[in-house]
């Protein structure tokens, strides 16, 4: 049993989360305020970064709105000062996360580690202690909606479920680490929970899913749409009983298409590397924030709170569970709206999330072959992991024409772009794309999507 897992702590936090699920708005606010005061007191003593911020302040009397906004880049630059354990070293963390054999293994025998995807620049590294993981585990287990109540009654422990996670399985990403960690914690589940890479060709992925026969499919919305198209075309036979999506925007049209193709219910969630389980849908399809453990502040371009119902330019996250790597008023980069009461009866705040809005590529597959569809997340993974390119936008300008642009300039950038083109061309060729022409431009700003945020992958006109 990994040291980052304490069964007694996990039980206690699960009990708290269970009670809070049905708590009143007043009780939730009281619990949140108590945890916020505890967070301030702990980090003011443990983190040199926050010791400076709280200098001359009484942590117990400090208002959240009085603290400065924290940005990923500046925190990563002063990582040693940010974290609350001097034994944690960023270079050592980078080396640890660079080895796929370490996925789901404890760092320093007590921490779970994952990297962000780098969607807003070079990825950050996040360290979770046992308490943080117990919170995420409890929220995942207790707040996810029950899509098949009768099945839950017949099989309350999920002993007949076969869960397939489709994602980037070769890196230290939060979802991949979480899946592999769960397999380590529950050996009896390891044969019924499997990660499958969306970087492999679609036909190979479909064959792997068909052989496994999942009852639950967990993936990103764009991957769910791609698999729904494959099932509609007869390339995929698997028939899950339910589908869990997260990590991207799930439009109403995409939800309806996936539902028609698979004929099963879908539950979407909202999470990120900074807080794995921020919100889940209720039975009415409304997203509810886990406000007993996380605080979200939608703000405008000047960092001022926006009125309820309006999306901010960005959203500030305060993670009440993680004290080893504090996230207080952290600029998340997402657009979130705080809504009013939900008719479902839950007092957990209702929110609306404007997530990623990248496009799927549809490339020529050669003479007499169908077009090749490629997930935007797969493209991002290849460019980040194989070429080290994080600031980019890839635009499709024709059936076989791609333009890769980056705002950066310089000789080193030119070398990175050359590596990126080689890696991307090899990957797309493995997917079946033929006759590709990939051009690149440096020093060029990215185009923006409908949300006003820059999209990383554009299908073009």
Residue with tokens 């529950």: 186
Global pTM?
0.82
* CB contact set of 230 (below 8 Å; sequence gap of 6+): 202, 206, 236
Q: Are 319 and 309 in contact (CB under 8 A)?
A: no
∠ at Cα 34 (30, 39), nearest 5°? 145
**Separation CA 379–CA 410 (nearest Å):** 23
**Separation CA 228–CA 202 (nearest Å):** 12
* CB contact set of 203 (below 8 Å; sequence gap of 6+): 235
**Separation CA 121–CA 366 (nearest Å):** 34
Residue with tokens 């995807």: 117
At 448 the three-state DSSP class reads: strand
- Phi, psi (5° rounding) for residue 338? -90, 125
Running DSSP on this structure, what letter comes out for residue 241?
Answer: S
**Separation CA 405–CA 401 (nearest Å):** 13
Q: Which two tokens stand for residue 45?
A: 């003593």
Q: What is the CA radius of gyration of the chain?
A: 22
Q: Are 88 and 108 in contact (CB under 8 A)?
A: yes
* CB contact set of 304 (below 8 Å; sequence gap of 6+): none
Q: Are 258 and 225 in contact (CB under 8 A)?
A: yes
Distance in angstroms between the alpha carbons of the first and the last residue of the chain: 52
If residue 397 lies in a helix (H) or strand (E), which one and from where to where? strand 393-398
Domains of the chain in start order, with CATH, are: 7-354 (3.40.50.12780), 361-458 (3.30.300)
At 74 the three-state DSSP class reads: helix
Alpha helices per DSSP H over 252-368: 252-262
Parallel, antiparallel or unpaired: strands 125-128 and 112-115: antiparallel
∠ at Cα 256 (255, 258), nearest 5°? 65
List the pLDDT tens digit at each of the 461 positions of the chain: 666 788 899 999 999 999 999 999 999 999 999 999 999 999 999 999 999 999 999 998 999 999 999 999 899 999 999 999 999 999 999 999 989 999 999 999 999 999 986 555 567 899 999 999 999 999 998 998 888 777 766 766 667 889 999 998 888 899 999 999 988 888 888 889 999 998 899 999 999 999 999 999 999 888 898 899 899 889 999 999 999 998 877 878 788 889 999 999 999 999 999 999 999 999 899 999 999 999 999 999 889 999 999 888 899 999 999 999 999 999 998 889 999 889 999 999 999 997 556 788 989 987 778 888 888 888 888 887 788 887 789 999 999 999 999 887 888 888 899 999 999 999 999 999 999 999 999 888 776 543 345 678 888 66
At 352 the three-state DSSP class reads: strand
Q: What is the pLDDT of residues 239-253, one digit of tens each?
A: 999 999 988 778 787
Q: Are 96 and 127 in contact (CB under 8 A)?
A: no
Alpha carbon separation from 352 to 56, 270, 281, 380 (Å, rounded): 37, 10, 10, 25
Q: Are 314 and 334 in contact (CB under 8 A)?
A: yes
What's the half-sphere exposure (Cβ side, CA atoms, 13 Å) at 250? 27
């Amino acid at each position: 049993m990994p040291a980052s897992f304490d069964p007694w702590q996990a039980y206690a936090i699960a009990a708290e989360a269970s009670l809070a699920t049905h708590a009143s708005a007043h009780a939730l606010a009281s619990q949140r305020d108590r945890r916020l005061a505890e967070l301030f007191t702990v980090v003011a003593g443990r983190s040199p970064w926050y010791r400076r911020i709280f200098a001359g302040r009484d942590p117990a009397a400090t208002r959240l709105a009085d603290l400065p906004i924290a940005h990923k880049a500046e925190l990563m630059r002063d990582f040693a000062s940010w974290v609350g354990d001097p034994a944690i070293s960023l270079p050592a963390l980078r080396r640890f996360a660079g080895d796929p054999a370490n996925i789901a293994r404890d760092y320093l025998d007590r921490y779970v580690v994952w990297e962000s995807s780098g969607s807003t620049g070079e990825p950050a590294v996040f360290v979770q202690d046992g308490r943080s993981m117990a919170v995420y585990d409890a929220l995942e287990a207790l707040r996810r909606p029950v899509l098949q109540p009768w099945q839950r009654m017949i099989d309350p422990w999920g002993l007949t479920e076969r869960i397939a996670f489709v994602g980037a399985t070769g890196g230290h990403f939060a979802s991949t680490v979480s899946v592999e960690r769960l397999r380590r914690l529950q050996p009896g589940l390891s044969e019924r929970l499997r990660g499958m890479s969306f970087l492999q060709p679609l036909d190979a992925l479909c064959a792997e899913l068909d052989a496994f026969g999942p009852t639950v499919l967990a993936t990103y919305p764009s991957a769910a749409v791609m698999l729904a198209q494959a099932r509609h075309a007869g390339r995929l036979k698997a028939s899950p009983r339910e589908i869990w999506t997260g990590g991207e925007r799930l439009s109403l049209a995409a939800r309806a298409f996936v539902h028609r193709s698979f004929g099963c219910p879908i539950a979407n969630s909202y999470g990120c590397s900074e807080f794995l389980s921020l919100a889940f849908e209720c039975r009415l399809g409304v997203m509810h924030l886990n406000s007993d453990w996380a605080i979200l502040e939608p703000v405008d371009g000047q960092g001022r709170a926006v009125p309820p119902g309006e999306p901010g330019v960005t959203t500030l996250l305060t993670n009440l569970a993680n004290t080893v790597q504090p996230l207080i008023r952290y600029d998340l980069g997402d657009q979130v709206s705080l809504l009013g009461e939900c008719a479902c009866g839950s007092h957990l705040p209702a929110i609306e999330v404007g997530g990623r809005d990248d496009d799927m590529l549809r490339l020529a597959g050669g003479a007499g072959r169908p077009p090749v569809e490629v997930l935007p997340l797969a493209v991002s993974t290849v460019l980040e992991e194989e070429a080290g390119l994080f600031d980019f936008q890839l635009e499709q300008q024709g059936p076989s024409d791609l333009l890769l642009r980056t705002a950066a300039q310089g000789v080193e950038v030119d070398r990175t772009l050359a590596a990126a083109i080689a890696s991307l061309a090899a990957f797309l060729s493995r997917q079946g794309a033929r006759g590709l022409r990939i051009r690149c431009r440096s020093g060029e700003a990215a185009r923006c999507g409908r949300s006003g945020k820059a999209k990383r992958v554009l299908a073009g006109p």
